[in-house]
Amino acid sequence: MKALAFNMVLATLWLLLSPTRTTADFFIGFALGFAGLSLFSAVLDTGDYPRRALALGRFGLGFLREFLHANLTVAAQVLFRSARALRPDFVRYEVADLTRGEILVLSYCITLTPGTTVVHIAEDFRALTIHALDARDPAALRRAIDTRLKEPLLRLTR
């Protein structure tokens, strides 16, 4: 967090020193500041800021891919397949080892990824109830959520 603020300050400084002041200048300054911070991370005590930023990028890209895939799946289901191909049911997904913020982000992502929607979060924040369009194989569904969403998210937050 402190490193992010430092990066912002560097970007603003770049903005003040540059001859033109546009939004693009701010982002150039931000990128330069990021490069500097990751080069001198050992000296500047910024901890794992570069690693986290990379994890954020990877998580964002992976999520975007899943989101587009989800929309193509919905399109195929809605336009070409009849409802008889569906096997909708509820699936339980354990989230006992996550913090509340992680559960929030994870359930948002689950809602926007193929074939799954979060319908309920247990009051003690230990499990999610997921509604899946195709619940023939709940174990495979849980594994898919683990590898595609949960692990990149944990790499970002921990």
Partner 1 sequence: MTELLSALLLLTGASFVLLAAIGLVRLPDVLCRSHAVAKAGTLGIFAILLGLWVELGVAAAGLKILLALAFQVTTIPAAAHLVGLLAWQKNLPRWRAPQAPPPDRSARTGRPH
119 binds partner 1 (CB under 8 A): yes
Work out the burial of residue 41: count CB atoms within 10 Å of its CB; fewer than 13 is exposed, 13-18 middle, 19 or more buried. middle
Question: What is the sign of the dihedral through the CA atoms of 150, 151, 156 and 158?
Answer: positive
Beta strand segments in the chain, E: 89-94, 116-121, 127-132
The correct pick among 12, 18, 41, 111 for binding partner 1 (CB under 8 A) is 111
Q: Return the number of the residue (16 or 72) whose C-beta is nearest partner 1.
A: 72
- Residue 140 contacts partner 1 per CB under 8 A: no
Residue 61 touches partner 1, criterion: CB under 8 A: no
The three-state secondary structure class of 116 is strand
Who contacts 125 (Cβ-Cβ below 8 Å, separation ≥6)? 95, 96, 98, 100, 103
Minimum Å gap between C-beta 149 and partner 1 is 14
Q: Are 86 and 78 in contact (CB under 8 A)?
A: no
Q: Does 107 bind partner 1 (CB under 8 A)?
A: yes
Q: How many residues bind partner 1 (CB under 8 A)?
A: 31
Binding mask 17-36 for partner 1 (x = CB under 8 A): ------x-------------
- Contact set with partner 1 (CB under 8 A): 23, 67-68, 70-71, 74-75, 77-79, 83-88, 90, 107-108, 111-112, 115, 117-120, 129, 131, 133-134, 136
